Amino acid sequence: MEERVPVVVEDVNGLLPLLFGRTRRAIEIRKAWNENRFALVLTPPILDELERVLTYPKVRKNFALDDDDVAQALTILRQNARNFPGLNFTPEELQGALAYAHQRGAKVLLAANTFPPAGATALWKQAIDAGVALGVDAIIVADMGVADYAARTHPGQRLHLSVQAGASSPEAINFHVREFGIARVVLPRILTVAEIKAVHDAIDCEIEAFVFGNIGMMAEGRCSLSNYATGLSTNMDGVCSPAGDVHYDEDAQGNLTTRLGPYVIDCFSCGENAGYPTICKGRYRVAGIADPYYAFEEPVSLNLSGLLPDLMRAGVTALKIEGRQRSRAYVKAVVEAFRTAVDDVLAGRDPALADLLALTEGHRQTQGAFRSKTWR
């Protein structure tokens, strides 16, 4: 794949004509940017300054901008400048990935499951249109407006309801099925297997369930911790603990402090395994407890390999395995283990369950709320 040339933006004054100028030169540069011939690299302070400058009436008048133009430009820049490097892709890259996957009999689902800010839905609509045009097998949506747009504009497109929609009751799920033609729901991790069975018997779509990966705090993407620390959140920006805000500081003794923005998330003594500074997994000083403590959540991964036959009997037909920010080796090991176990169950054999403990966070695993609501 062709490398994009990074262009570092040091000054908002130079960025304005590029984004909004009407001269031939500005239009040509913008065209090159749209064609991904270079990548803009902006720091959060530059983005903040741009946002401030775009409130000036004189600037708006000079470039003939209205609220929608400004909101859309900021959304595009924030989405592309701040999300995890390597997780974004262009429509051309998606096209190549689709061809690669389809040649190998794999399906590709496009996640458009963040929530557009008020007055700036164009980017989400463009993503839906592009996904449909390129032939993705399903689009995962959470926001009702995005779901409505996709269902009305592209009636034949298969839609899945993201866990971020937080639909856990038959009424909520059937509403999305009825109104938007949802074909599959990803259930929140708050239901026991028995409850999943009850939901399955009362709904008109397929069920996908989490089986392996980060277990978070069950806020299902509606968590605001990352937003509090960095201004970016999972549900609005598609990113928790953005890499650009992560800092690792090592002292002379080899002890490591991890920070997210201005906040210390954890301190690791020399030789201790250091985790990525995710706020919900940090150790903090808490009133009434002497030592720093996991105030939100201890580092532990969900692993439902032991419940797999029960889940399948309960009506789960798709398994959700966390892959974002994970290495290819991790994804291969986990998916292969579950594939083998599923094939065993389908063939009537006792599933051969690989030991995935080494791949869990903090080398600890749990079945979370799937076995019992009293797991904490």
Binding stretches for ligand SF4 (CB under 6 A): 214, 216-217, 219, 223, 225-226, 234, 240, 278-280
Output the six-digit token pair for 92.
């051309």
Query: Nearest to residue 120, comparing CAs of 81, 71, 182, 188?
Result: 71
Question: In 3-state terms, what secondary structure has residue 49?
Answer: helix
What is the distance of C-alpha 30 from the center of its chain?
28
Cβ–Cβ < 8 Å for 139, 87: no
Q: Least CB distance from residue 298 to ligand SF4, whole Å? A: 12
Q: Least CB distance from residue 163 to ligand SF4, whole Å? A: 11
Residue (157 or 226) nearer to ligand SF4, CB: 226
Question: In 3-state terms, what secondary structure has residue 346?
Answer: helix
Whose structure tokens read 């603990």? Answer: 241
Output the six-digit token pair for 320.
């959700």
Residue (216 or 368) nearer to ligand SF4, CB: 216
Q: Least CB distance from residue 297 to ligand SF4, whole Å? A: 7
Residue (192 or 278) nearer to ligand SF4, CB: 278
Question: In 3-state terms, what secondary structure has residue 7?
Answer: strand
Residue (219 or 312) nearer to ligand SF4, CB: 219
Residue (133 or 217) nearer to ligand SF4, CB: 217
Question: In 3-state terms, what secondary structure has residue 72?
Answer: helix
Residue (7 or 219) nearer to ligand SF4, CB: 219
What's phi and psi for 244, nearest 5 deg?
Answer: -65, -20
**Type of residue at 55:** T
Q: Least CB distance from residue 227 to ligand SF4, whole Å? A: 9
DSSP string, 353-365: ----GGGSGGG-E
Q: Least CB distance from residue 84 to ligand SF4, whole Å? A: 12
Q: Least CB distance from residue 228 to ligand SF4, whole Å? A: 9
Q: Least CB distance from residue 224 to ligand SF4, whole Å? A: 8
Residue (225 or 337) nearer to ligand SF4, CB: 225
CB atoms within 10 A of CB 175: 14
Q: Facing residues of 316 across strands?
A: 207
